[in-house]
A and B are shown apart, each in its own frame.
Chain A
């Protein structure tokens, strides 16, 4: 293995993949295959043995989606309050901020994909399970407004367990707030592309994430309504093997396409180009 080349590449692409596992090899979280770190990175964290799409952080996702250097973050200064003084929430927020370097569970901004401008929002599952509270709701609402103001398509990548329990009813209402923001986009004929990544469940799947003009999903992602721990109904029936996955949702007409990670960027570019053709989008 050309070690010098590997290090050189790493240095060059520090912006594109900043959390590559230390060392030369890494292990697939699904099948346990030992993968060369370099191959794993080149493969966008998809296991070359079993095809498992490992979760990406928001910065990683942005790096492989947006044209290099094009991403301009917006609304980064928003932080959650603790409206219910919920036990342990303040500490949890602080810990999540420290460990991720993010202020909350979504990063929004303006970016270009193959030369075309879009408003981009990317959820980060590391931040309290990507859960949607006031900040996520507000940033999605603002992203939608930015899209309207600039006449740009909105692309949202979801990766979330659902509404943030620690914000109680306020979190539940973010489902309504984000869905209303999508209703506004619809009134303005601004395209919205929703990309479901692992996992997209609960209040996020049951709100804005299901409302895309086009809904894409990564292969094998968990996509469904009630998490098994939360569901208060007995799921004692025999469930299909692919229950609550991208493929299950595709089969039942809830997703337009399941798109492998490597093809996502070109597919998004194609969609953006299609929607903007003949409109005043740049």
Chain B
């Protein structure tokens, strides 16, 4: 089930290949020689593909969204950083014990304004994935993020955080160096950071690992990203002792961006290009950039104490209970 979840992508990929083939100069020349109007045929195919993609992607189930959020071609934090910012100087290390490559960050310029950006980074190929631990940060990663957040605070620059992780690292090394403490400290410190923070879940918002870099004044999610207390596979294992029932678990957890918005936990869902961010990274980046600029403009002139007070109030108010 897990492997076949994105079967519909295959037909789209075939159609995309066909269109690319027909667009080649030699095909055009061939068609022109035979008096065929290839342009019109290509345009018709493209329109058909768009129509099919639009339909399919508007009907994605929570599990399909999970798979789209994990798609190997989906833009990662560094892809967005390259496309969104005018300039980026990456900084490394937590100043305590190491440099975790599952977390990236540094100084950037957003339409002329200096900002500090942090992000969770998966790898594109196997080697990079291993180097970045598949986007699962160790304590050093969370501590690097906190160090950069404090740098932003010291120099009064807004902070942008791009979240994309399956989960925090849960191996022996993570436990030895205090993964829980690192996440907990970030939750506490980001809650009272005296500069504007805009968080965007760009792919997978995997439980505590995501949350440890997701406290902000605005929390946004890309249309096909997910945010969950537990991976659907883990939830299925607990509920039904069967990881294959992940699709049902994804539905029960309501882990979509739309679900998070309905619960009032995030502020906005950012629309992705037709067929998902992986089909048009530049289009997704343009949407992201527009949203970042807009939200930072709204937050820029809020006094630091007001900013912190409303962030604390935002966190304080989350929950659904009844009082007798």
Verify B184–A81 contact, CB threshold 8 A: no
- Whether, in the assembled complex, A57 has its beta carbon less than 8 Å from a beta carbon of chain B, the answer is no
Is B51 among interface residues, defined by CB-CB distance under 8 A? no
Total residue contacts A-B, CB cutoff 8 A: 203
Determine whether the beta carbon of B323 is less than 8 Å from that of A176: no
Answer whether A78 and B176 are a contact pair too, CB < 8 Å, given A169-B227, A206-B184: no
- Contact between B191 and A183, CB atoms less than 8 A apart: yes
From A78, A172, A177, A233, B208 is in contact (CB under 8 Å) with: A172
Mark each residue of chain B from 288 to 324: 1 if its CB lies under 8 Å from any CB of chain A, else 0.
0000000000000000000000011001101111111
Q: In the assembly, what is the distance between CA of A179 and CA of B167, in Å?
A: 19
User: Could you say which residues of chain A place their CB within 8 Å of the CB of B189?
Assistant: 183
Question: A206, B319: Cβ atoms under 8 Å?
Answer: no
The reply to whether A78 and B322 form a contact with Cβ atoms under 8 Å apart is yes
Contact residues on B (Cβ < 8 Å of other chain), bracket: 35 or more
A243 touches B175 (CB 8 A): yes
Evaluate contact between A169 and B229: CB separation under 8 angstroms. Answer: yes
Q: Does B265 touch A at the CB level, under 8 Å?
A: yes
Q: Which residues from chain B contact A173 at a C-beta distance below 8 Å?
A: 211, 265, 315, 318-319
A86-B252 in contact (CB<8A): yes
> With an 8 A cutoff between CB atoms, is A168 at the interface?
yes
Nearest residue, chain B, Cβ from A103 = B324
> Residues of A within 8 Å of B, CB-based: how many?
65
Q: Which residues of A contact B211 (CB under 8 A)?
A: 172-173, 175-176
Is A3 in contact with chain B by the CB < 8 A criterion? Answer: no
Instruction: Considering the complex, give the chain B residue whose CB is closest to the CB of A185.
Output: B188
Stretch at the interface among B42-50, B85-93, B105-113, B232-240: B232-240
With contacts A169-B227, A253-B178 known, is A239 near B172, CB below 8 A? yes
Contacts of B125 in A (CB 8 A): none
In angstroms, Cα B215 to Cα A10, docked, is: 50
A79 touches B324 (CB 8 A): yes
- Closest B residue to A231 by beta carbon equals B170
Q: Are the C-beta atoms of B237 and A229 separated by less than 8 Å? A: yes
- B168, A170: Cβ atoms under 8 Å? no
**CA–CA, A226 to B253, complex, Å?**
19
Tell me, yes or no, whether B230 is within 8 Å of chain A by CB: yes
Which of B166, B184, B318, B321 contacts A232, CB < 8 Å?
B166
- Chain A residue at minimum C-beta to C-beta distance from B208: A206
Would you mind naming 5 contact pairs between A and B with Cβ atoms under 8 Å apart?
Answer: A78-B324, A176-B211, A183-B312, A206-B180, A225-B180
Q: Ordered nearest first, which 4 A-B pairs have the shortest CB separation?
A: A226-B170, A179-B187, A134-B319, A77-B324
